[in-house]
Amino acid sequence: MTSQGQSSSFPSDDNNGQSSFRGKLLTIDSKLGNQDVEGLKFLCRDCISHKNLEESSSASDIFDHLLAQELLSEEDPFFLAELLYIIKQKSLLRYLSQSKEQVESLLPTRRRVSLFRNLLYELSEGIGSENLKDMIFLLRDSIPKIQMTSLSFLAYLEKQGLIDEDNLRLLEDLCRRVVPNLMRKIENYKREKASQVVTRPTDQELESLHQREEGPFSHSHIEQLLEALPSRGILVLCSLGARRCSFGLA
């Protein structure tokens, strides 16, 4: 029995292995099955080397690689939360102090899994064993005679360069013939991808922008400030630079 005023030599509950971050990761690992691990490996294909993924036999192996590459940490576990959300293990988010709603709100700005990889994962969920057999039959001349899951089948098509984020023709043809209801996911992907495309300004537009913004107060800056300030604010601007303010009063 520890005497009064003497600290115990045993670790507190807050410091034991289970409450540590790695302890939480181990708990998550224990609750994931082989299919979940396959899903994690597939979703991490863009950020973990093929060799490391091939050698990973458990979720904890994948977590180790994410930790080593600073894609996962106790301070920022969002990438793992995103992965768990995608593979529909939302109940495990609590071990990362996350909720389904929190992940959904952050995905638009913090997602790491590409739209293309997310699409392939979603398609794999809708390709049943019989559907897969039909797809392989259609491509028998170019598909090796090995046991495949829907994920490994899609991964093979990607590896062979038969599909990519800008080339979905083969995938569309397969889905249209075998699982037509999946076409909706492909169309959604196309729309979302198109909405993320940002048109690069031309060199002429960049030069024009540069010329307008020379000097302490640019034309656009003055216009924005004049719109935001009350009428008496115009006098303040004019006192700061009368010669640049004149166009705003015209």
- pLDDT tens-digit map of 80-111: 999 999 999 999 999 999 999 999 999 999 99
What single-letter DSSP state applies at residue 69?
T
Reply yes or no on whether the pLDDT at 121 is more than 70.
Answer: yes
**Torsion 174-179-181-186 (CA) sign:** negative
Do 82 and 114 contact (CB within 8 A), yes or no? Answer: no
| Distance in angstroms between the alpha carbons of the first and the last residue of the chain | 87
- pLDDT tens-digit map of 191-208: 999 988 654 455 555 555
Phi and psi at residue 164, to the nearest 5°: -155, -175
pLDDT of residue 208: 56
Amino acid in position 201: P
Which is more confidently placed, 88 or 210? 88
**Domains of the chain and any CATH numbers:** 15-113 (1.10.533.10), 117-195 (1.10.533.10), 219-250 (no CATH)
Six-digit token string for 20: 């540590």
- Model pTM score: 0.72
Question: What is the number of other CB atoms lying within 10 angstroms of the CB of residue 55?
Answer: 10
